[in-house]
Amino acid sequence: MPTELKPGGMGSPAIAGTPDEFASSMAATIEEEFNALLRAEGLPALPLDNSRETRDRRRLFVAIARGVLRHLDERRAAITVVRTDGATVSPSFNINRPGGTWS
């Protein structure tokens, strides 16, 4: 089975640390890269707890990740791969969408 694309979710605010819905997701990767950019500029990294402040920031990252994957999924015909035999194919994506929808 192909690797699943996980946009991310917020999980419960009652969870200490990083909720499973957010962990190992595209949103979590965006958060990691954001912190790397902050550190590269000599700025302090942002906390990775599940505080109100962290959840507010993660909400934006989850929205960005979901939007990117939804956009690609809805326009997969715009992405083509030309095989060595000359055939052109469009990809399919294995996206983890809890509830089966984007909303």
pTM of the model: 0.83
Domain that holds residue 76: 26-96
How many structural domains are present in the chain? 1
Residue 101: the pLDDT is 67
Provide the pLDDT for residue 1: 52
pLDDT of 52 reads 94
Model pLDDT, residue 69: 92
Which pLDDT score, from 0 to 100, does residue 99 have? 67
Q: Which residue in this structure is represented by tokens 């507010």?
A: 56
What DSSP string describes 60-81?
HHHHHHHHHHHHHHHTGGG--E
2 lies in some domain: no
Amino acid letter, residue 11 = G
- Please report whether residue 20 resides in a domain: no
* Residue 40 domain flag: yes
Residue 88, in any domain of the structure: yes
pLDDT at 17: 87
Please list the residues that pair with 13 across neighbouring strands.
none
What pLDDT sits at residue 77? 85
Tell me which DSSP letter residue 2 carries: P
**The predicted structure's pLDDT at residue 67:** 94
